[in-house]
Amino acid sequence: MDASSALETQLRAVCRAAGLEPLDIEWIPDALSLRRFARIHLRSSAPATAVARIEMPEDPAGRPAGAAPEPPHEPIRALLERAGLPVPRRLGGDPAAGIELLEDVGSLPLQSAAAALAPAARADLYREACELVPRIQRIARASGVAAFARSLDAALFAYKADLVARYGLAARARAATPAEAAGVRDAFAWIAAQIAAAPQRLAHRDFQSANLFVRAGALRGDRLRMIDVQGAFLAPPEYDLVCLLRDSYVELPEAEVVAHGEAVRSALPDAPDAESFARRFDLLTLTRKGKDCARFLYAARERGDDRYLAYAPTTVRYLRRAAARASARDRRVADLAALLHELPESPCAR
């Protein structure tokens, strides 16, 4: 029996242990994740399908050096569910085998829905997504939940800086010089020190259009489901909003980004003032989107997966604009801004 057949046999056994009778197993195309997902068609109408989330053995080429493994899906999913956040229900699983059976949230990510909607309808759906952020941030610390022991700290900024220096700057068709790499690391360390002074609140950590699914026919306020919640950690109030509004997969008009940010800012538990919010939003954009751009290059060069190079132009535009604003406020990021302005909008995989 090959590995795929053995895994399907295991999935069927996990389903039966949960009281579900599997019919067909449909593998869902993978993304940059190190996990696999399958839609399992069931011999029932409620539910008719379930999604299996499978932790795969670590591939040395799959994760950049310095990237720490994420915690398990439980208990953070259960905590969010108890708080009334829209996450998939757990239907069963085998934690020892790294298999979770979850409610099927459908096949329409916000990424695809946004492309098909008129501007006003898209803006309304994004308002609904933004409204989830204060709700996540109001969740109090809970013992035994790894998210509250993890944070956007200096070590994580250093990891992002290393990715940008090694892979992001290589988009210019040449490796970074030692001085350029040191400049990136110094700038990210300075940003880390600025961010450390911000309030720390629970964040999804990857709150972007690929991880928000739209339920057809649902009423406003119940149209979205969040997935991929295991990476949750403590971060400044702006972090999830940067992920959503500076999403590499959906480039919103700048006026819409500003309007969404301003609408949700005062609803955040810490209600940051407008200048602090804007400053941190841009600094986090530099580090988050710098990391994303580098990850796209990393996937293409080290894993032979160039699908995500299509999103590099949007990502580079974000970086250039945020770099211009951030360097106008803080000269300490001027050298980093100059390097980011050198990035081509369409980097090559080689």
Indicate if 40 and 76 belong to the same structural domain: yes
Indicate the residue among 86, 103, 120 that finishes a domain. 103
Indicate the residue among 54, 87, 103 that finishes a domain. 103
Indicate if 78 and 224 belong to the same structural domain: no
* Confidence at 34, pLDDT banded by 50, 70, 90: confident
On average, the pLDDT of the chain sits at 94
> What DSSP element (H or E) covers 326?
helix 312-329
Indicate if 163 and 285 belong to the same structural domain: yes
> Strand, helix or coil at 259?
helix
Q: Report the interhelical angle of 334-341 vs 178-196 (nearest 10°).
A: 120
Quote the CA–CA distance of 207 and 302 in Å, as a whole number.
25
User: And the tokens for 164?
Assistant: 């940008």
Report DSSP state, residue 18. T
Mean pLDDT of the 344-348 span? 80
- CATH assignment of the domain containing 79: 3.30.200
- CATH assignment of the domain containing 180: 3.90.1200.10
From residue 252, alpha-carbon distances to 27, 128, 182, 224, 259 in Å are: 31, 15, 33, 18, 11
Q: What is the pLDDT of residue 277?
A: 98
> Strand, helix or coil at 36?
strand
Indicate if 284 and 180 belong to the same structural domain: yes
Helix (DSSP H) and strand (DSSP E) numbers for the chain? 11, 9
Quote the CA–CA distance of 4 and 175 in Å, as a whole number.
39
- Say if residues 272 and 146 touch (Cβ distance below 8 Å): no
Indicate if 84 and 122 belong to the same structural domain: no
Quote the CA–CA distance of 12 and 66 in Å, as a whole number.
35
In a domain, 321, yes or no: yes
Indicate if 76 and 125 belong to the same structural domain: no
Share of the chain above pLDDT 90, in %: 89
* Confidence at 33, pLDDT banded by 50, 70, 90: confident
Indicate if 98 and 115 belong to the same structural domain: no
Q: Check pLDDT > 90 for residue 4.
A: no
Q: Over the stretch 236-295, which tens digit does the pLDDT of each residue have?
A: 999 999 999 999 999 999 999 999 999 999 999 999 999 999 999 999 999 999 999 999
What residues pair up with 212 in beta bridges, in sequence order? 226
Indicate the residue among 85, 103, 121 that finishes a domain. 103
Quote the CA–CA distance of 114 and 109 in Å, as a whole number.
9
- Say if residues 337 and 323 touch (Cβ distance below 8 Å): yes
Torsion of CA 230, 234, 238, 242, to 10 degrees: -30
Q: Check pLDDT > 70 for residue 63.
A: no
Indicate if 201 and 332 belong to the same structural domain: yes
Mean pLDDT of the 87-97 span? 96
Q: Count how many domains the chain has.
A: 2
In a domain, 254, yes or no: yes
In a domain, 346, yes or no: no
Indicate if 35 and 82 belong to the same structural domain: yes
Quote the CA–CA distance of 147 and 141 in Å, as a whole number.
9
Indicate if 176 and 27 belong to the same structural domain: no
Write out the residue range of the structural domain in which residue 170 sits.
110-341
- Say if residues 114 and 122 touch (Cβ distance below 8 Å): yes
Indicate if 215 and 294 belong to the same structural domain: yes
* Confidence at 304, pLDDT banded by 50, 70, 90: very high
> What DSSP element (H or E) covers 296?
helix 274-302
Indicate if 58 and 138 belong to the same structural domain: no
